[in-house]
């Protein structure tokens, strides 16, 4: 083989995934044409009650405050410094055959993003994309002893037009930086991180499922890796990101609604704690309670707080209740951000959208179990649902509360609002509705 042929062969090998992607997109665009016709027809049959707007007024949601870095954080990283080391053929991960059937977080893509922080070297170091590989750290690393860890959960969606989008990433960056501050970890420039993340997604873009029932889950993680045992802020940290294609949240063997265990002896968060931050240490103590729920044949835990048994969250979701007031007017409520609740991005988006629709009252206020029981007895409780990035909206059909089953009529409504909300949000995420919340990856 001549040198020129060898170079050409190398080029073809390096770019073959682009060719495959091009062919896949062309096939999808053809099938989308027929899909669009079906969707148009379906839309004509069920005209929604709500006006689906293609923008959001700043009256209904506020952009997060820019993060103020502590002076001693040192230098920030920038996306222009990004170094890329592509996976060799033997490092490529096996790709699943059926994205829709993927279990959550079991399969990972070929590459990851890593950004080290070393105070002794002046602050954040150069970002790098590397093949997916194990991390090496000292056994005294703070993350291993004091759970100095926090994370985010985002998704990349392949739209009906073949473009890849992420949803309100600046909100995740803001939430992550707030958790970093609370953990004594260094804060960073969210916009620069999003540029690095976009590059990672575009390198692994063939892993973004070609399906509206699946997506690419993004797990940004920040850990303290200082190799010292003192309970103190970490002078070294690692901000890394892994990607995992995930299938449909709902399994085909149920109607999509979940049943909950509500046991007031367990609490997820408390005033002055960190229930409002996405730290790993919040999640470990929930696992055994979740196991108990499963043993009782229930799917999730409804986390209660206080003597009045306030509803705070459902598993790893925020909670919403839709009910009729005594005068018949309907109202959508979700608990306020009082420190016990994770400020969900889906939660914020639902509040903003429904306030803009203006079809019913929307309130942030405490919901208690006695209130739920009373509304049920009076036939005024219409829908109860959890919300989050993983499932968008998860309807609830039963609560096991202090040994009694409360049956919630969420799935019995003729035109449930949780369905309209789900359709709107997924419409934005999958590019069916043009919206500033959906950010396209180039
Ligand atoms: C405890 C908890 N509540 C709520 C949510 C929903 O948040 P988001 O809508 O940002 O995914 C999550 C998921 O991140 C969570 O872990």
- Report yes or no on 253 lying in a domain: no
Ligand 1 binding residues, C-beta < 6 A: 153, 313, 316-318, 342, 344-347, 388-389
Ligand 1 centroid to residue 286 C-alpha, Å = 14
Looking at the structure, do residues 28 and 105 belong to the same domain, yes or no? no
- Report yes or no on 66 lying in a domain: no
Residue 275: pLDDT above 70?
A: yes
Ligand 1 centroid to residue 74 C-alpha, Å = 30
Pick from 370, 424, 417, 425: nearest CA to 395: 417
Residue with CA nearest ligand 1 atom 7: 344
Residue 42: pLDDT above 50?
A: no
Looking at the structure, do residues 235 and 282 belong to the same domain, yes or no? no
Mark residue 28 as left, alpha or beta (left: phi above 0; alpha: psi -120 to 50; beta: remaining). Answer: alpha
Q: Print burial letters for 344-378: b (CB count within 10 Å at least 16), e (below 16).
A: bbbbbbbbbbbbbbeebebeeebbbbebbbebbee
Higher-confidence position of 305 and 47: 305
* Domain stop point among 223, 248, 273: 248
The pLDDT assigned to 40 comes to 41
* Mean pLDDT of the region 67-81: 96
The domain of 9 spans 1-47
Residue 313: pLDDT above 70?
A: yes
User: pLDDT tens digits for 357-377?
Assistant: 999 999 999 999 999 999 999
> What residue has token string 């989050």?
388
The pLDDT assigned to 253 comes to 44
* Mean pLDDT of the region 409-422: 96
Residue 32: pLDDT above 50?
A: no
The pLDDT assigned to 3 comes to 56
User: pLDDT tens digits for 186-206?
Assistant: 999 999 999 999 999 999 999
Separation CA 96–CA 117 (nearest Å): 34
What is the percent of the chain with per-residue pLDDT over 70, rounded to a whole number? 86
CATH number of the domain encompassing residue 110: 3.30.470.10
* Mean pLDDT of the region 141-169: 97
Pick from 273, 119, 86: nearest CA to 186: 119
Looking at the structure, do residues 241 and 263 belong to the same domain, yes or no? no
Looking at the structure, do residues 82 and 39 belong to the same domain, yes or no? no
Q: How many domains does the chain have?
A: 3
Atom of ligand 1 nearest to the CA of 172: 10
């Amino acid at each position: 083989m001549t040198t020129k042929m060898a170079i050409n062969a190398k080029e073809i090998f390096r770019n073959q995934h682009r060719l495959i992607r091009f062919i896949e997109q062309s096939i999808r665009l053809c099938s989308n044409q027929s899909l669009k016709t079906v969707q148009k027809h379906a839309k004509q049959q069920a005209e929604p009650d709500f006006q689906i707007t293609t923008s959001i007024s700043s009256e209904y949601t506020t952009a997060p405050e820019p993060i103020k870095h502590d002076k001693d954080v040192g230098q920030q990283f920038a996306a222009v410094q990004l170094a890329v080391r592509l996976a060799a053929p033997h490092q490529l991960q096996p790709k699943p055959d059926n994205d829709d059937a993927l279990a959550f977080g079991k399969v990972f893509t070929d590459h990851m993003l890593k950004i080290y922080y070393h105070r002794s070297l002046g602050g954040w170091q150069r970002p790098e994309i590397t093949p997916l590989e194990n991390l090496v750290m000292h056994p005294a690393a703070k993350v291993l002893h004091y759970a100095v860890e926090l994370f985010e959960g985002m998704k990349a969606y392949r739209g009906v037009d073949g473009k890849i989008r992420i949803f309100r990433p600046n909100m995740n960056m803001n939430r992550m930086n707030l958790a970093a501050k609370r953990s004594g970890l260094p804060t960073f420039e969210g916009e620069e991180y999003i540029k690095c993340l976009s590059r990672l997604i575009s390198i692994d873009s063939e892993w973004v499922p070609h399906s509206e029932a699946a997506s690419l889950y993004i797990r940004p993680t920040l850990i303290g890796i200082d190799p010292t045992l003192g309970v103190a802020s970490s002078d070294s940290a690692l901000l890394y990101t892994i990607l995992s294609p995930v299938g449909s949240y709902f399994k085909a063997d149920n109607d999509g609604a979940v049943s909950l265990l509500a046991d007031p002896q367990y609490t997820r968060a408390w005033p002055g704690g960190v229930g409002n931050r996405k730290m790993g240490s919040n999640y470990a103590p929930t696992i055994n309670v979740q196991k108990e729920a499963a043993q009782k044949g229930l799917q999730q835990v409804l986390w209660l707080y206080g003597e009045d048994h306030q509803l705070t969250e459902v598993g790893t979701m925020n909670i919403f209740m839709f009910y009729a007031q005594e005068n018949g007017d309907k109202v959508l409520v979700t608990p306020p951000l009082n420190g016990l609740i994770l400020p969900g991005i889906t939660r914020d988006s639902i509040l903003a959208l429904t306030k803009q629709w203006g079809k019913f009252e929307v309130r942030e206020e405490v919901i208690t179990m006695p209130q739920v029981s009373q509304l049920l007895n009076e036939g005024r409780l219409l829908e109860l649902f959890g919300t989050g990035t993983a499932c968008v909206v998860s309807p609830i059909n039963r609560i096991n509360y202090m040994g009694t089953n409360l049956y919630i009529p969420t799935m019995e409504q003729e035109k449930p609002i949780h369905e309209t909300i789900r359709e709107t949000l997924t419409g934005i995420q999958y590019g069916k509705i043009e919206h500033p919340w959906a950010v396209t990856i180039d």
